[in-house]
């Protein structure tokens, strides 16, 4: 377990660092203003945080827990609908089954790294774009 956490942390730092480096390189063309690089750093950090912390917390809040699906939760309603649609059982590989698997065991290191890459990059791009759009017009 410890090795997995270290591997995911290293991959997250590598991806976030390369995303930030790309944004900073883009802003070197205009040395007087590096606002979009700061926006990219903030966005990448938020995106990576969502991937590592937000997804498991969100799934737990829906009712997909390590102890099983919580009674009366949104997950229980999803499971009920899936069971009715499949004639009494939840199909292996269905959305409910996959979400419960993640809720019980967490994401694999590869899935967590991929999600961190996607959300970190999307956050960096969004942060840079939002910062760019708030700049006053230059002469």
Segments forming the whole domain that contains residue 50? 2-132
> For residues 65 and 43, what is the distance between their CA atoms, to the nearest angstrom?
29
Q: Is residue 77 part of a domain?
A: yes
Residue 1 is predicted with a pLDDT of 47
Q: Is 28 helix (H, G, I), strand (E, B) or coil?
A: coil
Residue 74 is predicted with a pLDDT of 93
Strands (E), the chain: 64-65, 68-69
Q: Is residue 106 part of a domain?
A: yes
Q: How many CB atoms lie within 10 A of CB 87?
A: 7
Q: Is residue 138 part of a domain?
A: no
Q: Is residue 139 part of a domain?
A: no
Please answer whether residues 64 and 99 qualify as being in contact, where contact means their C-beta atoms are separated by less than 8 angstroms.
Answer: yes
Residue 73 is predicted with a pLDDT of 92
Which of the listed ranges 3-12, 26-35, 44-53, 101-110 does the model predict with the highest average pLDDT? 101-110
Nearest to 17 by CA among 45, 49, 58: 45
> For residues 71 and 62, what is the distance between their CA atoms, to the nearest angstrom?
11
- Is residue 108 very low, low, confident or very high in pLDDT (cuts 50, 70, 90)? confident
Q: Is residue 137 part of a domain?
A: no
Residue 79 confidence (pLDDT) above 60? yes
CA distances from 110 to 7, 28, 65, 114 (A): 10, 33, 21, 6
> For residues 41 and 53, what is the distance between their CA atoms, to the nearest angstrom?
18
Residue with the bigger pLDDT between 8 and 69: it is 69
Q: How many CB atoms lie within 10 A of CB 102?
A: 16
> For residues 91 and 83, what is the distance between their CA atoms, to the nearest angstrom?
8
Number of independent structural domains in the chain: 1
């Amino acid at each position: 377990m410890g090795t997995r956490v270290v591997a995911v942390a290293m991959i997250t730092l590598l991806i976030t660092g390369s995303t930030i480096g790309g944004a900073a390189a883009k802003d070197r063309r205009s040395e007087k203003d590096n606002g979009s690089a700061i926006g990219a750093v903030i966005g990448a950090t938020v995106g990576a945080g969502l991937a590592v912390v937000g997804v498991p917390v969100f799934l737990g809040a829906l009712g997909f827990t390590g102890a099983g699906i919580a009674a009366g939760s949104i997950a229980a309603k999803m499971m009920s609908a899936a069971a009715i649609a499949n004639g009494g059982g939840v199909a292996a590989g269905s959305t409910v089954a996959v979400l419960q698997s993640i809720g019980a065991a967490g994401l694999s290191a590869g899935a967590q790294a991929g999600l961190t890459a996607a959300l970190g990059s999307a956050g960096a791009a969004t942060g840079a774009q939002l910062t760019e759009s708030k700049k006053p017009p230059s002469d």
